[in-house]
Amino acid sequence: MKLLTHNMLTSHVRGVRPGGGFPLRIQATEVKVNNVDFNQEFVARMIPKVEWGALLEAAESLGHLSDLPHQLPPEYENNEDFLRKVHHVLLEVEVMEGILKCPDSGREFPITKGIPNMLLSEEEET
Amino acid sequence: MTWWILGLKNIKKNQGSYAVFKMEHEATQLENQHVHSVYESTASYFNDLQSKAWPRVRQFLLEQKPGSLIADIGCGTGKYLNINSQVFNLGCDYCEPLIKIARKKGCEVSVCDNLNLPFRDQCFNAIISIGVIHHFSTKQRRIKAIKEMARVLISGGQIMIYVWAMEQKNRRFEKQDVFVPWNRDLCSRLLSESNQSGHKSDLEHTVKKHPQQPVGSECSYPINRTQELDTKSSHSTDHCLAKTCCMKMSEEEENRFYSALGKSFRSWFFSRSLDESTLRKQTEKMKSLKNVGEWANSTISIQPSRHCSLDLGHRGPLLKEQSLDDDEVFMENASLKKPQWMTASGVIRDLNGEHHGVVQSKNEETSFLSGPVENRDNNCTYSKDEDGKSTTSKLFQRTSTTDSTDSILDEAMAVGDQVVDILDTKAFMRYYHVFREGELCCLLEENVPELHIISSCYDHGNWCIIAEKIAK
């Protein structure tokens, strides 16, 4: 599970307050780092879609915060250095084994072989 | 009367939240048994197939802007996740075995439920839903699935939905709620025939590689004995065997094929729709089947045809009510007056079993499919009357597809006399709700106002729509 994916994921357990299921807390037992080709334009376009705070939090929990800034720098589209760091965190860091935990309900979703399983039981469904 | 039908009758009496809950539970059970379990059991077979992408879906994906976030909801083994490398593709499926296969290909995937997508609102630029919605067993669930996808779609983003059509090229499903058998023995039969003809196919190789694995396939279509390959064809092999189903049939095979149709239709099992609104008095003939799951036993019925009211935009149904033999599940009897869309492209058999009008010629296809599709008129009057007839005044024209591949349904037809026996046993039954013309559009227009339909067409035996999320 890449951190870009994680940035979209939310808990949807019945009873969770609106927005209360995001972002999921990562408890990783196995993290992998891949080499992914850097595409500057691609990364620049991804940034507006990302919840920046959640990304920072997730990166930090995996020890890959590096020196990502707390705020988005102005005119980041041309800031290659910055974009490369974002690229690394969004696309190269992968959680292979671990747990995603709903901040509101505490419900845990497993990640196995890089695949998060977000299925709910019938009782938990909204 | 089975417990299931009694249960539904009780539901009808006791309108209320308990009844709704019970219906949901029934729906979930049906889908667990006849969608999820089947895909899980047969997942390893999908792994071996060469899956090709449907051209229109490919096009849709390639048209998305670089840097887009695209979700494939119901991605299976990830056939569409590697089409466009300029976008970020995320695949979701309920079936973990299929997702594992996709993962091995390097795709970013997760196990999810379409009815409860684990994504925050408005995060995807585009979504595809190819051959998924037709697996939901009630109208409410189909609506919920579409609304969930609309929820996670960015304003201005587009969604493409493909569902199996009730109206197929040469015939149509008699009922909308269908169990489709999946037979593992059939595949080896096809292989041995293929061997005889000396014509190797990819399928043959893959099946030989894994003799121990279930290799069931619901599709069984004539083995090509000619050299010709329709190389333009590329379509989903989630339901069929990759190359061979696109091949042209020799005349001998075509005759065998159609002579087997009558017998094989006993194998098509029709369930009653779980939708309360479709509960009505019908005459039914329940046939018990060997080796079919408990659920299937109670819901399967083979419906003699009573209605066919496909409306192409003309007023009123084109076919009057006909009564057919039990075996004539599809409206293929030449004595019937055929609706225009069938005769335009269709195969009409005379008593000698010869074909008039080759189904697979490009010209035929064009005449049947009359130009670009427009959704001019938003006054959808698709409705079901008491007898379950449907009419629509939507002017849907169909776009032409350049290849003449048969639909998923055609590929599921059985070949040969022994096939029926095989299909009766060792079958994984997959549930489908096949869509009438106009039904999908009406479903959106009446229930999903946040989506605005951009285009609609008929493609490879499916109804396809592209819709856009309306900006607030």
Whether residues B28 and A122 touch (CB distance < 8 A) is answered with yes
Q: How far apart are CA B375 and CA B367, in angstroms?
A: 20
Q: How far apart are CA B324 and CA B336, in angstroms?
A: 10
Residue B302 pLDDT more than 80?
no
Which pLDDT score, from 0 to 100, does residue B89 have? 97
Q: How far apart are CA B23 and CA B21, in angstroms?
A: 5
Q: How far apart are CA B176 and CA B166, in angstroms?
A: 7
Whether residues B118 and A9 touch (CB distance < 8 A) is answered with yes
Q: How far apart are CA B76 and CA B52, in angstroms?
A: 13
Please state whether the peptide bond connecting residue A23 to the residue before it is cis, i.e. omega within 30 degrees of 0: yes
Q: Is residue B100 less than 8 Å (CB to CB) from chain A?
A: yes
Is residue B242 within 8 Å of B202, Cβ to Cβ? yes
Q: How far is B231 from chain A (nearest CA, A)?
A: 33
Whether residues A122 and B69 touch (CB distance < 8 A) is answered with no
> In chain B, which residues have their Cβ closer than 8 Å to the Cβ of A1?
108, 110
Which pLDDT score, from 0 to 100, does residue B467 have? 97
Task: Give the β-pairing of B269-271 and B69-73.
Answer: unpaired
Which pLDDT score, from 0 to 100, does residue B164 have? 93
- For B340, the token pair is 């225009």
pLDDT tens digits along B127-159: 999 999 999 999 999 999 999 999 999 999 999
Q: How far apart are CA B395 and CA B86, in angstroms?
A: 36
Q: How far is B135 from chain A (nearest CA, A)?
A: 17
Which pLDDT score, from 0 to 100, does residue B350 have? 35
How many C-beta atoms lie closer than 10 Å to residue A16's C-beta? 19
Task: Give me the phi and psi of B124, to 5 degrees please.
Answer: -110, 140
Lowest mean pLDDT among A114-118, B253-257, B262-266, B462-466: B262-266
> In chain B, which residues have their Cβ closer than 8 Å to the Cβ of A49?
69, 123, 125
pLDDT band at B301 (very low <50, low <70, confident <90, very high): very low
> In chain B, which residues have their Cβ closer than 8 Å to the Cβ of A8?
69, 90, 119-120, 123-124
Whether residues B66 and A1 touch (CB distance < 8 A) is answered with no
Residue B304 pLDDT more than 50?
no
Q: Which 8-state DSSP code applies to residue B357?
A: S
> Three-state secondary structure along chain B?
CCHHHHHHHHHHHCCCHHHHHHHHHHHHHHHHHHHHHHHHHHHHHHHHCCCCCCHHHHHHHHCCCCCCEEEEECCCCCCCCCCCCCCEEEEEECCHHHHHHHHHCCCEEEECECCECCECCCCEEEEEEECCHHHCCCHHHHHHHHHHHHHCEEEEEEEEEEEEECECCCCECCCCEEEEEEEHHHHHHHHHHHHHCCCCCHHHHHHHHCCCCCCCECCCCCCCCCCCCCCCCCCCCCCCCCCHHHCCCCHHHHHHHHHHHHHHHHHCEEECCCCHHHCCCCCCECCCCCCCCHHHHHHEEECCCCCCCCCCCCCCCCCCCCCCCCCCCCCCCCCCCCCHHHHHHCCEECCCCCEECCCCCHHHHHHHCCCCCCCCCCCCCCEECCCCCEECCCCCCCCCCCCCCCCHHHHCCCCCCCHHHHHHCCEEEEEEECECCCHHHHHHHHHCCCEEEEEEEEECCEEEEEEEECCC
Is residue B218 within 8 Å of B181, Cβ to Cβ? yes
Task: Give me the phi and psi of B331, to 5 degrees please.
Answer: -80, 65
SS3 content of chain A, % helix, strand, coil (to 5): 35, 20, 40
The three-class DSSP label of residue B173 is coil
The three-class DSSP label of residue B267 is helix
Average pLDDT of every residue of chain B = 62
> In chain B, which residues have their Cβ closer than 8 Å to the Cβ of A43?
67
Nearest to A118 among B66, B67, B118 (CB): B118
Nearest to B69 among A49, A115, A119 (CB): A49
DSSP string, A59-116: HHHTT--TT--SSPPTTGGG-HHHHHHHHIIIIIEEEEEEEEE-TTT--EEEEETTEE
Lowest mean pLDDT among B59-73, B232-246, B274-288, B446-460: B232-246
% residues pLDDT > 90 (chain B)? 32
pLDDT tens digits along B77-133: 999 999 999 999 999 999 999 999 999 999 999 999 999 999 999 999 999 999 999
The three-class DSSP label of residue B172 is strand
- Sequence-distant (6+) residues with CB within 8 A of B11 are B19, B22, B23, B276
Q: How far apart are CA B116 and CA B149, in angstroms?
A: 9
Residue B178 pLDDT more than 90?
no
Whether residues A115 and B110 touch (CB distance < 8 A) is answered with yes
pLDDT tens digits along B392-415: 333 333 333 333 333 343 333 333
For residue A72, the Cα-to-chain-centroid distance in whole angstroms is 17
Q: Is residue B40 less than 8 Å (CB to CB) from chain A?
A: no
Which pLDDT score, from 0 to 100, does residue A109 have? 96
Q: How far is A64 from chain B (nearest CA, A)?
A: 20
Whether residues A8 and B90 touch (CB distance < 8 A) is answered with yes
B229-246: average pLDDT: 35
Strand partners, B373: none
pTM: 0.64
∠A71-A17-A98 over CA atoms, to 5°? 65
What dihedral angle (degrees, nearest 10) is formed by the CA atoms of B406, B412, B417, B419?
Answer: 150
Q: Which has the closest alpha carbon to B330: B132, B178, B133, B224?
A: B178
Whether residues B119 and A10 touch (CB distance < 8 A) is answered with yes
Whether residues A10 and B120 touch (CB distance < 8 A) is answered with yes
Which pLDDT score, from 0 to 100, does residue B276 have? 47
Which pLDDT score, from 0 to 100, does residue A18 have? 86
pLDDT tens digits along B181-231: 765 554 444 434 434 443 333 333 333 333 333 323 333 333 233 333 333
Q: Is residue A65 less than 8 Å (CB to CB) from chain B?
A: no
Q: How far is A5 from chain B (nearest CA, A)?
A: 8
Q: How far is A70 from chain B (nearest CA, A)?
A: 22
- For B136, the token pair is 């939901």
- For B67, the token pair is 């840097």
pLDDT tens digits along A50-96: 999 999 999 999 988 877 888 899 899 999 999 999 999 999 999 99
Residue B57 pLDDT more than 90?
yes
Is residue B404 within 8 Å of B457, Cβ to Cβ? no
Is residue B274 within 8 Å of B23, Cβ to Cβ? yes
Alpha-carbon distances, residue B362 vs B11, B227, B407 (angstroms): 50, 18, 15
Whether residues B118 and A12 touch (CB distance < 8 A) is answered with yes
Residue A110 pLDDT more than 90?
yes
Whether residues A11 and B118 touch (CB distance < 8 A) is answered with yes
Q: Is residue A53 less than 8 Å (CB to CB) from chain B?
A: no
Q: Is residue B114 less than 8 Å (CB to CB) from chain A?
A: no
Q: How far apart are CA B460 and CA B249, in angstroms?
A: 17
Which pLDDT score, from 0 to 100, does residue B124 have? 97
- For B341, the token pair is 């869309």
pLDDT band at B13 (very low <50, low <70, confident <90, very high): low
